[in-house]
Copies of this chain bind each other. A is one copy, B any other.
């Protein structure tokens, strides 16, 4: 057999559609080009990383326990990291013990392990419309069907979910991002949390609570985890926005028997989460004074950034509507001009040197063609001002393009 130029192409068995996430990958890549100002990413601001504290702790870990910190560790996580996560879980939800905690390689791995362990081909996952794409991707790869549920500024419309369930729909998981939802920015209200929990008990589904922005509330208080209302909760406790993303150490809280099953899947997936990151974070978070102090800094920082972008848009882009965010990293905006779609605008914006994400890839059934997501997290005040000026120019060009199209017809 002769060697083809692509000896592997006959062997590839692509699983599930990746086209939507590819669209966002392309925009993120374009946003990283020199001279382009990116409002497109989901990155936290590096100014918020506790770099001095992390550096001090890392020095101590390598000086005092390098042999352990550089060695293999248990699949479930180091005992110290599981203890720290159990304390964090208890402080923000129902009392938790270390055996209810699994350390995962980021919450994306938590999503993937839950999808692979709980879902079978044809099972259904209910979720907000719009929703976080990384979750959608894992559910689709597991062969699940999606049941999109309308959502508003109070998060998932649980009455709409109940109506679907009453009409016979069934789901194994309900996926929620309760604080400062990506992309919508919504906070799931207290009443809807209780309602969703009672539906979980009544219909036997599991609430998958993915809460990476919970500490980033600058105009809304953090609410306790759904697990105070029902046992049927899996909590994903990302530290990527609270501390930093680069260590890839996250917590998953679930009943101990499920942690055991998820650990079996994790053993096959990557044996364990990196030991050094676990040693660093377990030490950092062992100081009970660190996190409250740090979270206050975080909230102050993002309150300022959100205010800067909001004010610029209100002043310069009257055609762009949005709710004032109460936390998180994003503004979820609507283009209030029937002649300009978010695809048009994002293309024109990139040509002007600013990257934004159109709403369509986040949407399942709902029309996202007038929505755009913009992050206020990483650009400086002058860069935000320049980005908004470029968006204004891009919008004008879209309008002119539309007008000339109209003239041509």
Contacts and interface: CB of A to CB of B under 8 A. Distances in A.
Given A46-B70, A245-B72, A204 B10 contact: yes
Given A245-B275, A271-B106, A15 B116 contact: yes
A267 B66 CA distance: 30
Which residue among A10, A72, A120 has the maximum number of chain B CB atoms within 10 Å of its CB? A72
A12 interface: yes
A109 B270 CA distance: 5
Interface string A77-108: 00000000000000000000000000001101
A204 B246 CA distance: 39
Most chain B CB inside 10 Å of its own CB: which residue of A15, A54, A59, A105: A105
Given A18-B264, A117-B13, A255-B8, A276 B203 contact: no
A261 B14 contact: yes
Given A7-B231, A43-B71, A105 B277 contact: no
B12 A270 contact: no
A202 interface: yes
Contacts of A258: 8, 12
Interface in A182-207: 201-204, 206
A289 interface: no
Contact of A1 (B1, B172, B201, B255): B201
B62 A55 contact: yes
Nearest to A140: B268
A112 B70 contact: no
A167 interface: no
A70 B232 CA distance: 33
A138 B112 CA distance: 15
Contact of A246 (B240, B248, B257, B274): B274
Contact of A69 (B66, B246, B269): B246
Interface in A210-263: 231-232, 240, 244-249, 254-255, 257-258, 261
Given A245-B70, A258-B12, A271-B106, A232 B117 contact: no
Contacts of A272: 106, 248
Contacts of A255: 6-8
A406 interface: no
Contact of A268 (B3, B59, B141, B276): B141
A49 interface: yes
- Size class of the A contact interface (CB-based, 8 Å): 35 or more
Contact of A108 (B12, B254, B268): B268
Contacts of A108: 267-271
Contacts of A13: 117-120
A187 to B, nearest CB: 24
Given A62-B55, A66-B55, A270-B112, A72 B43 contact: yes
Interface string A266-297: 01111111111100000000000000000000
A269 B12 contact: no
A134 interface: yes
A264 to B, nearest CB: 5
B206 A8 contact: yes
A405 interface: no
A21 interface: yes
Q: Which 9 A-B pairs have CB atoms at the shortest separation, nearest pair first?
A: A246-B275, A46-B67, A70-B244, A70-B246, A248-B274, A109-B270, A108-B271, A105-B270, A51-B66
Given A58-B62, A137-B268, 9 more contacts: A7-B231, A8-B254, A12-B258, A14-B117, A21-B267, A70-B246, A71-B244, A109-B269, A112-B269
